[in-house]
Amino acid sequence: MSVQPSILIVDDEQGILDTLRILLKNEGFDVTTAQGGKAGMEQLKASAPDLVLTDIKMPGVTGLEILAAVKDQDPETPVILMTAQASLQSAIQAVNEGAFHYVQKPFSNDEIVALCRRAAEVRQLKAENKQLKQEIRKHEGGGITKPLGKSRLFQDVLRLAEQVAPTDSTVLIQGESGTGKEVIARYLHDLSNRREGPFLSINCGALPESLLESELFGHVKGSFTGAVRDKQGLFAAARSGTFFLDEIGEMSPATQVKLLRVLQEREAIPVGGTEAIPVDVRVVAATNRDLEDDTKRGRFRSDLFYRLNVIAIHLPPLRERREDIELFVHAFLERIARERGETPKRLAAEALEAIMRYEWPGNVRELENALERAVVVSKGEVLGVDDIPVRISEKRAEPLVSERPHVNPTLDVIEQAYITWVLQSEGGNKTRAAEVLGIDPSTLYRKLSRYGGDAVE
């Protein structure tokens, strides 16, 4: 943007145009005016203003059509709408659909100047941010961090991700907890045509149904207790970017229906609202569950599954890509040292051997946590077997549930073994495990805490 921000003013009344031109020119703006919507459209084709100030109600071409044309030309250009009381509702709706703000006639000089300055500042910040991203890409080999892994299985994953990234197709990433599903989702975004837009994410299993719907679709003021103002949903906030829905298998049936509408119609209706808001996002979903099996069991909508499963990416567990373990070890030790301001520690041969032998049920996340713990508790520069958790350093990790159970096991051992088996059967989902066990989730969490996280994760 130029030092003198350029502004296009569109109104069908010449008197208003003259007044605003003089006012904003004196405030340091490079002003162009157009009398009527048709002239405004022609001026847009001839130039690219930094911001647009337009009346909403004009004969022929309206301010809403000007807004649409501006957003088609450059989505980052702020548009301020001038409105009379009669068209106030249209202006508010336009703001929800991408207008920067609206100002109601009659307005004060100070009000319109302050609004235009704020819009110009936002435009300037976005331009600087875009330029900074381009510089980072230029100096850092494209600015895209490639996910770590040299194994054949993981390289196949990366090749598929790179192939589908430039498209807008919905992607479903499946894999065990801790395999790095969000890392792949971010990689898809960074390689996509939406890379300049936001990358937003939400864990669908972390919020109750009512709150999840409000976060996803937004809500209108008064739609429920505590809704004191309109709230923009994440689908709207992620406009022109990527929206990552983690743990999609935990979404309630009612919310699944609303998500299906978004994917089919490309529009969302806020909670308590009646008017749909256009949705322009690329959806990437992830789950550690077998959604195809869940659809057969009636736990997940089959029509939603097929909408999500356009491109399927399966992330293999760490135990199936052991060639990558040593790469992760070095990368994590470097990162941990950098964050602590220390020289990176290294693993003794025996410790590395134990790490390579372990099954890693918690995958990459478990490996990272184990190494961080080892760095914190160790006293030397070399991490030995005594520094890593016992479950990893043991020569032979015997499962709690096996064909040869412990001799005379205690009730605690039997209970812990059964809970672990149920938890693994349910893919690590504690809510579903609690349902199978017939206990409250809070009771399950207390039992897991008593056993210690390492024993059951």
Domains of the chain with CATH codes = 6-132 (3.40.50.2300), 152-316 (3.40.50.300), 319-393 (1.10.8.60), 411-456 (1.10.10)
Give pLDDT, residue 272.
85
pLDDT value of position 221: 83
* Helix runs in 309-405, H state only: 325-340, 349-357, 363-377, 390-393
Q: Looking at residues 424-443, what average pLDDT do you find?
A: 78
The string of pLDDT tens digits covering residues 23-75 is 999 999 999 999 999 999 999 988 889 999 999 989 999 998 999 889 888 88
Partners of 242 in the beta sheet? Answer: 199, 282
> Which of 206-210, 379-383, 405-409, 443-447: highest mean pLDDT?
379-383
State how far the Cα of 349 lies from the Cα of 384, in Å rounded to an integer: 8
Which tops the pLDDT comparison, 90 or 8? 8
Whole-number pLDDT of residue 136: 47
* Residue 140 banded pLDDT, cuts 50, 70, 90: very low
pLDDT band at residue 138 under the 50/70/90 scheme:
very low
DSSP 386: G
Q: Is residue 457's pLDDT more than 70?
A: no
Among 68-77, 159-168, 220-229, 312-321, the least confident range: 220-229
Q: Give tens-digit pLDDT for 435-449.
A: 778 787 777 777 776
Phi/psi for 431 (5° steps) reads -65, -45
Mean pLDDT in residue range 336-364:
92
What average pLDDT does the chain have? 86
Is the pTM here over 0.75, yes or no?
no
Among 95-109, 186-200, 262-276, the range scoring the smallest mean pLDDT is: 95-109
Burial class (CB in 10 A: 0-12, 13-18, 19+), 163: exposed
The pLDDT value given to residue 396 = 54
pLDDT number for residue 71 = 85
- The mean pLDDT value for 381-395 works out to 88
Structure tokens at 78: 């702020």
In the predicted model, what is the mean pLDDT of residues 348-375? 93
Whether the predicted pLDDT of 407 surpasses 70 = no
Residue 208: the pLDDT is 86
Note the pLDDT of residue 130. Answer: 66
DSSP string, 265-334: HSEE--BT--S-EE---EEEEEESS-HHHHHHTTSS-HHHHHHHTTEEEEPPPGGG-GGGHHHHHHHHHH
One-letter amino acid for residue 222 of the chain: G
In this predicted model, what pLDDT tens digit does every residue of 233-292 receive, in sequence order? 899 999 999 999 999 999 999 999 999 999 999 998 888 888 888 899 999 999 999 999
Residue 406 has pLDDT above 50, yes or no: no
CB contact set of 296 (below 8 Å; sequence gap of 6+): none
Q: What is the pLDDT of residue 133?
A: 57
Give the closest residue to 210 by CA, choosing from 224, 197, 200, 189.
224
Whether residue 90 has pLDDT greater than 80: no
- Which of residues 435 and 155 earns the better pLDDT score? 155
Residues 287-303 pLDDT 10s: 999 999 999 999 999 99
Burial 97-117 (b: 16+ CB within 10 A, else e): bbbbebbeeeeeeeebbebbb
Q: State residue 122's pLDDT score.
A: 84
User: How many percent of the chain have pLDDT more than 90?
Assistant: 55
**Which of the two residues, 431 and 450, has the higher pLDDT score?**
431
| Residue linked to tokens 């309109």 | 230
Give the pLDDT of residue 399: 52
**pLDDT surpassing 80 at residue 451:** no
When pLDDT is averaged across residues 129-147 and rounded to a whole number, the result is: 59
